[in-house]
Amino acid sequence: MKIAFFDTKPYDKPSFDRYGEAAGITFKYFEAKLNEDTVDLAQGYDGVCAFVNDTVNSTVIDRLAQLGVKVLALRCAGFNNVDVRHAYGRLHVLRVPAYSPYAVAEHTMALLLTSIRRIHKAYIRSRDFNFSLAGLTGFDLHGKTVGVIGTGRIGRVFIDICRGFGMKVLAYDKYPADGLDNGDTVRYVGLDELFRHSDIISLHCPLTEDTYHIIDEAALEKCKKGVVLLNTSRGALVDAEALLGGIKSRQVGAACLDVYEEESDLFFEDNSGHILEDDTLARLISMPNVIVTSHQAFLTEEALENIAETTVQNLSSFFKTGECPNELCYRCGKTEDCRHGKCF
Ligand code: NAD
């Protein structure tokens, strides 16, 4: 089987080549992102493999179907960049629902600690033999309240990490997990209560119509003054303009962003020689209390192995049996516990 692999980065190839070879799947690596301009590169391939910033809208889906491409294998968990409803009946969409949730949860805590203990500042200072501590005062996490929005795989690992630090957890999820709320250190609450009582808020829900700009101006106004916002989920969960306003007004004490609403043309690329057109991102990055990483939370050796292994298993299963347990159901957007049956 031949698969057109879009938005290839050097770190993708070793694991995909290894698992692909063992399963009889050949990947043709394209550096281009999948979109309306590049979709014809998929001509002659049995399937395409795409990542978070590829654009799989109705036009791309229709063209892929015309080209005879049967399957889209996402090498990620989120699928907000795919018009899954339009894909119904035209293209099978497979994904990697779970890969090292520890990678993302641990990166979230790394960002939080870096930010509140000013490690990013101290690192630069000490390299210049500036050993002053002025302005580096942080605060203890022990005893603080963290609001976790989305208590799926990553959210729950992050909650465990936070509990290890002696933090209290206020959780919010559209579909609360059984057995997580212990009535004491972890409690499910409504969004308003979470906003009002959290010292730190971390986003671990998918990007959907419900969650688009879940952090907007109104939400930030409800938050404690000085709240620390962590977003390692999807950029458009946060209204970046509202966040910038919150930083300027000091309502937001710090923000750590691994994702950004308009990241698709910037993140994963070296733009150091270019003038950044996005004034909001430039202003956010210029703030001393904002840390931006470029969608790297998933990037651990373990996660890359998991992603390649599951993507190849998904494709093998699909080509051998016509079915795959990780196929997305367009109706519920889930693979597990899907009560709507197969997509086709
Ligand atoms: P998951 O499906 O296990 O958990 C998502 C949780 O969000 C579920 O419990 C679900 O019920 C909940 N949810 C759904 N709609 C909601 C709503 N409207 N309000 C509140 N909660 C809602 O997913 P996961 O593996 O934990 O991943 C979470 C998100 O992390 C993904 O959707 C993806 O966007 C993001 N992610 C980012 C990276 C990265 O590198 N930065 C890597 C992997 C995943």
How many angstroms separate the alpha carbon of residue 45 from the centre of ligand 1? 31
For residue 259, pLDDT over 80 is answered with yes
Confidence class of residue 331 from pLDDT cuts 50, 70 and 90?
low
For residue 190, pLDDT over 90 is answered with yes
Pocket of ligand 1 (CB under 6 A): 77-78, 98, 101, 104, 149-155, 172-175, 204-208, 210-211, 232-234, 258-259, 295, 297-298
For residue 344, pLDDT over 50 is answered with no
Higher pLDDT, 4 or 78: 4
Q: What average pLDDT does range 323-338 have in this prediction? A: 67
What is the pLDDT, as a whole number, of residue 85?
86
For residue 337, pLDDT over 50 is answered with no
Q: CA angle 150-55-338, nearest 5°?
A: 45
How many angstroms separate the alpha carbon of residue 22 from the centre of ligand 1? 31
What is the pLDDT, as a whole number, of residue 109?
98
Q: What average pLDDT does range 114-120 have in this prediction? A: 98
Confidence class of residue 149 from pLDDT cuts 50, 70 and 90?
very high
Confidence class of residue 334 from pLDDT cuts 50, 70 and 90?
low
How many angstroms separate the alpha carbon of residue 187 from the centre of ligand 1? 18
What is the pLDDT, as a whole number, of residue 343?
40
Beta carbons of 40 and 67 less than 8 angstroms apart: yes
Atom from ligand 1 closest to the CA of residue 234: 34
Convert 195-226 to b/e letters by CB count within 10 Å (16 or more is b): beebbbbbbbbbbeeebebbbbeebbeebbee
pLDDT tens figures, 219-258 = 999 999 999 999 999 999 999 999 999 999 999 999 999 9
How many angstroms separate the alpha carbon of residue 205 from the centre of ligand 1? 3
Residue 109 per-residue DSSP state:
H
Q: Between the CA of residue 343 and those of 84, 86, 87, 316, what are the distances in Å?
A: 10, 12, 9, 18
The closest residue, in CA terms, to atom 20 on ligand 1 is 173
Confidence class of residue 330 from pLDDT cuts 50, 70 and 90?
low
Reading the block at residue 98, the tokens are: 């779970």
Atom from ligand 1 closest to the CA of residue 206: 32
Reading the block at residue 82, the tokens are: 């795919």
Higher pLDDT, 270 or 223: 223
Which of 54-68, 132-146, 253-267, 303-317 is predicted with the least confidence, judged by mean pLDDT? 253-267
What is the pLDDT, as a whole number, of residue 134?
97
For residue 333, pLDDT over 70 is answered with no
Confidence class of residue 339 from pLDDT cuts 50, 70 and 90?
very low
Q: How far apart are CA 13 and CA 86, in angstroms?
A: 30
Q: What average pLDDT does range 98-102 have in this prediction? A: 91
pTM over 0.85, yes/no: yes
Atom from ligand 1 closest to the CA of residue 210: 18
Higher pLDDT, 206 or 330: 206
Which of 134-143, 202-211, 332-341 is predicted with the least confidence, judged by mean pLDDT? 332-341
Q: What average pLDDT does range 190-215 have in this prediction? A: 96
- Mean pLDDT for the chain overall: 93
How many angstroms separate the alpha carbon of residue 204 from the centre of ligand 1? 5
Atom from ligand 1 closest to the CA of residue 232: 41
SS3 string, 136-183, reads CCCCCCCCCEEEEECCCHHHHHHHHHHHHCCCEEEEECCCCCCCCCCC
The 3-state DSSP class for residue 327 equals strand
Q: What percentage of the chain has pLDDT greater than the value 90?
A: 84
Higher pLDDT, 337 or 22: 22
For residue 103, pLDDT over 70 is answered with yes
What is the pLDDT, as a whole number, of residue 45?
97
- The helix (run of H) or strand (run of E) holding residue 4 is strand 2-5
Q: Which residues are catalytic?
A: 234, 263, 295
Q: How far apart are CA 107 and CA 104, in angstroms?
A: 5
For residue 341, pLDDT over 80 is answered with no
For helices 119-127 and 101-116, give the axis angle rounded to 10 degrees.
70
For helices 301-321 and 13-23, give the axis angle rounded to 10 degrees.
30
Q: What is the best residue among 204, 209, 298, 304 to mutate for testing ligand 1's pocket, by most ligand atoms within 8 Å of CB?
A: 204
Q: Which domains does the chain carry?
A: 2-99+301-321 (3.40.50.720), 101-292 (3.40.50.720)
The closest residue, in CA terms, to atom 35 on ligand 1 is 233
The 3-state DSSP class for residue 81 equals coil
What is the pLDDT, as a whole number, of residue 266?
86
- Laid out side by side, the sheet with 200-203 consists of 186-188, 168-172, 145-149, 200-203, 227-231, 252-257, 290-292
